[in-house]
Structure 1
């Protein structure tokens, strides 16, 4: 991983992401691309009228000045930071920027839950990026001082469709030197599976994913709980995980495995950093 993309809106949440990125960048000897999207309409950018041209230039210059202050941080010393200001309005274009620059990881900040019915990602820019990104997206919701990635929980249902996400996760966590715990949450009722059924599914998945090897089989944890969300949280807290990793279907929401928007609930309500991998 040589480059990390951090979308910046100059808020405290994007600073959370920037600080986490600086720590990973120092560990990996990677560069940070700090991207600010103006969200200007195409009409403003292509019209010849002097006033509209001046308006577009004003916002471009303003963003550049904001970068001067925002990036003046002690924790960024020794890290190469490339400032980029784009006129993009559609957040799927962040994925294009990431591919053009051979980015290995996108890190974004997101606010926390402040009300019973308020969801962190619903309708937010972070959700839009996650849904459209082919590249792993790490979401930081709280201030970070000593951000470490030592213990990771990768939760999925071990369906064959998750192999791509699994491969990308293992590659990234190997680069970070993290210890990965694979997690299957077993539920009561119709979704309950006995030990033999679960083990058969996991072995089939790992056999296909790892070319016949079952070295990761002993890394699989089976956790019984009433919901997948609570199972992931409880197990992650039990082992004091640094990050929760989940596969995502992008087009249908943040991460849908089992039935419904379980992954989305996990990402919305988790206090720990969450990283998504496209299925």
Structure 2
């Protein structure tokens, strides 16, 4: 991991994400790319800064630059290589293009489910950023003076289609030096006997390099409640899941389940595209 993207609106929630990014950047010698989105139509922007640009556009660009300078001078960013980026596309398009252009390894976004970067995490932007992002996305809910992942829960139905996402999660588990807890949630409407579930998990990981993990079956009324309750029971530091598709854990990002888990889970959530 060498490049971390942090979308920012300069809110406290975005700063919480940036503080986590700063810790990871120092630990793993990463650059941080700070991306601010201006909701100004592209046709109103003169990229050369000529006088033909609208006064409103010039004002907001100067304001963003001033906020960048204030942010970069904060002590927690000392000795980190920071890249300032301003984009005038829609939020999800700006993030996608930046990830592609800069070859970003991880996106870290801040949210408390109420304000801040909430627009990145619900509705159409959820499906376009979190659910479909080719780059892993880490959602931070609160300030973490010390971001340390000792216990990492990866929830899935452990079908073959989830293996590419799991391998990405495994890479980050090793990076964080975290113990991985595999989790399959049983619900009244989607129930699998324990023996079958354990057999599926064992088969799922047999061709990976994973050797030290726990395999867990948890019964609850809904999948998202099962994930949150299990994570609470073991004191998990991070919840991971795969996104995209229609089966298994993939459907978390269709409708209310995604909003409940990403916005309501107290723990950081990390997503990996299949």
1:172 maps to 2:172: yes
5+ long unaligned stretches in structure 1: none
Contact preservation (8 Å) 1:120, 1:269:
no
Q: Which runs of 5+ in 2 are unaligned?
A: none
Whether 1:81 and 2:76 are equivalent positions in the alignment is: no
8 Å Cα contact 1:95/1:132 also seen in 2:
no
In the TM superposition, what is the alpha-carbon distance from 1:66 to its structure 2 partner? 1.1
1:19 Cα deviation after fit: 0.5
Would you say the 8 A contact 2:173–2:179 is kept in 1? yes
CA shift at 1:94, angstroms?
A: 0.8
CA RMSD of aligned residues (A): 3.1
Q: Name 2:20's counterpart in structure 1.
A: 20
Indicate the residue corresponding to 1:109 in structure 2: 110
Cα deviation for residue 96 of structure 1 reads 2.1
- Give the corresponding residue for 2:265: 270
Alpha-carbon separation, structure 1, partners of 2:217 and 2:183: 6
Distance verdict in 2 for CA 1:89–1:250, change over 3 Å:
farther
C-alpha contact 1:133 1:250 (8 A) present in aligned 2:
no
C-alpha change, 1:266 and 1:42, in structure 2 (3 Å) is same
1:30 positional shift:
0.9
Query: Secondary structure of 1:142's partner?
Result: coil
Q: Is structure 2 residue 247 aligned with structure 1 residue 247?
A: no
Q: Could you say what secondary structure the match of 1:20 adopts?
A: helix
1:79-111 Cα shifts (integer Å, max 9, x gaps): 211111122224233122112212111000112
Pairs aligned (count): 270
Partner SS, residue 33 of structure 1: strand
Matches within 5 A, 1:194-273: 194-207=193-206, 210=208, 215=211, 219-249=214-244, 255-256=250-251, 262-273=257-268
Structure 2 counterpart SS, 1:158: coil
- Corresponding residue for residue 99 of structure 1: 100
